[in-house]
Structure 1
Amino acid sequence: MKPVVQLLYFGYHQAMSCIFPVAIFGTLALTRIWEVPFLHRYDAILLILLAVQYLMYSSGLETWDEIKVICLFHVIGLALELYKVHMGSWSYPEPGVSKLFGVPLYSGFMYASVASFMCQVWRRLRMDMTGWPGGMASFALGGAIYFNFFTHHFIPDFRWWLTALVFVVFRKTWIIYRVRATTYRMPLSVAFVIVGFFIWAAENIATFLGAWTYPDQREAWRMVGVSKISSWFLLVIISVIIVAQLKHVKAARRAEPG
């Protein structure tokens, strides 16, 4: 009976951590079915997501520190979107007032939703890590991963080298999480793969709902290639590195005397 109870508690906290991603999918689905009066779809999505974010903060579902992390990811994601759309990797074909160089501003929220999940689940499951490689190594790897998303268009793609390096750098890192009074742990690299898979599944839903369009989806929707899991795997690493480092810094400040 206890394993069932533990699973239910774990599932509940996972579901609560997914409120913002679910809000995004719900908004995409609703605006696909019903046209919002007097607004382009992309503009309506942006306004709805801003309202959701405000409600989550005002209700206490998200803290001010978590909002700051989410805003950071919004900027990081938007910068990547601007570049990728410019390079023709994907497109946003619908009109909108809130589009910047062909990219709707709501698109940054899709990256921010990953940060929202990470912050929420970290707090709800009272997570910690052992064997963290430190700020220098983790940020250098995260920076290399992020810039590879840009540079692979004109120099060789180092994705698989970086993936191998992830397993080397984080080989001793374990996630510690707690469900009620029981403590569990998991290798961090395994968690990267699991979250990357679920984001890839979410990406298929998002493209089906018209969040964005890949070149091979312009005539008709088709499933996003499985190889994209590796991209999300690497993107999740960036989010974990930033969130974990901020948590470590905050914990260290609380531990300081005075």
Structure 2
Amino acid sequence: MRGLRQFVRFGWAQALSCMFPVVIFVSLAFTEWVSMPFIPRYDWLLLICLLMQWWMLKSRIETKDELTVITLFHLIGLVLEIYKVNMGSWTYPEEGYSKIFGVPLYSGFMYASVASYLCQAWRRLELKLINWPRPYIVIPLAAAIYLNFFTHHFWIDIRWWLLGLVIIVFWKSWVRYKVGRINYRMPIVLSFILIGFFIWVAENIATYFGAWEYPYQSEVWSLVHLGKVSSWLLLIIVSFFIVAVLKQIKHYPTRESSYVHNPPFYGYDKTN
């Protein structure tokens, strides 16, 4: 029963952390099944995302510092979307007033929702990083991962080399988290894989509801290739690093927990 209670607590913390992604999925389903008046569907989705972001900030579910990280990841995702769409990787076939170079602006919020989840889960589960590599190692690795999403279209795809480097660099790194009063820990690489897998599941739901469309889904919907898990795993590292930098710079108390009496949870804690 104790294990079951802990599992429920962990699941509830995860559910609260996923509020933004859940709103996006519900909005995708609702606008797919219900014909929306006045403006195209993509524009409705943008308005819903903006209202959700405003509400989360107004209700103090998100902090201004977290909003900065989310906005940055929104821009990173939007640039990637514009490039990928114009390279023919996928399309947004519906009309919309808020489309730029074939990409609706709401698409950036799908990336931002990932950063929102990371920020929320970090606070609710009181995450601490153990043996996190030095910035001069992580920054070039994160930059290479992001650039490879662009360069593999006209150069070799080095994602598998990058995945190998990720395993080597983060082999001794752990993430410690708290459920109730009990501390747990997990290898950081395993957490990357799990998050990447569940984003792949979410991607299948999103494409089913017409968020975007891969070329092989133009005639009939089919599962997104499982190989996309590796892409999401790599992108998660970029977002995880951005959030970790925020947590390194800002050691402020929150409603869920206080870091005043705790050691820094980013950096070079060598204890287990």
TM-score in terms of structure 2 length: 0.92
CA positional deviation for 1:249: 2.1
CA positional deviation for 1:85: 0.4
Amino acid of the structure 1 residue aligned with 2:109: F
In 1, Cα distance between equivalents of 2:49 and 2:248: 29
In 1, Cα distance between equivalents of 2:173 and 2:231: 21
**What per-residue deviation string (whole Å, max 9, x for no partner) do you get for residues 17-47 of structure 1?**
0000000001100000111110100000000
- State the superposition RMSD in angstroms: 1.2
In 2, Cα distance between equivalents of 1:251 and 1:66: 13
Q: 2:208 aligns to what?
A: 208
Q: 2:99 aligns to what?
A: 99
In 1, Cα distance between equivalents of 2:148 and 2:251: 31
Q: 1:113 aligns to what?
A: 113
In 2, Cα distance between equivalents of 1:35 and 1:45: 13
In 1, Cα distance between equivalents of 2:2 and 2:245: 34
**What per-residue deviation string (whole Å, max 9, x for no partner) do you get for residues 51-70 of structure 1?**
01111111111111111111
Written as runs of structure 1 = structure 2, the 5 A alignment for 1:41-190 is 41-190=41-190
Amino acid of the structure 2 residue aligned with 1:250: K
Q: 1:15 aligns to what?
A: 15
In 2, Cα distance between equivalents of 1:60 and 1:221: 39
Gaps of 5+ in 2: 253-258, 261-272
Gaps of 5+ in 1: none
Secondary structure at the aligned position of 2:175 is classed as strand
Q: 1:249 aligns to what?
A: 249
Runs of 4+ in 1 over 6 A off after TM superposition: none
CA positional deviation for 1:172: 1.3
Q: Kindly tell me the number of residue pairs found equivalent between the two proteins.
A: 254
**What per-residue deviation string (whole Å, max 9, x for no partner) do you get for residues 174-208 of structure 1?**
00100111000000000000000000000000000
In 1, Cα distance between equivalents of 2:238 and 2:20: 19
Q: Are 1:135 and 1:245, in contact at CA under 8 Å, matched by a contact in 2?
A: no
Q: 2:227 aligns to what?
A: 227
Task: Give the % identical residues.
Answer: 56
In 1, Cα distance between equivalents of 2:190 and 2:179: 19
Amino acid of the structure 1 residue aligned with 2:176: I
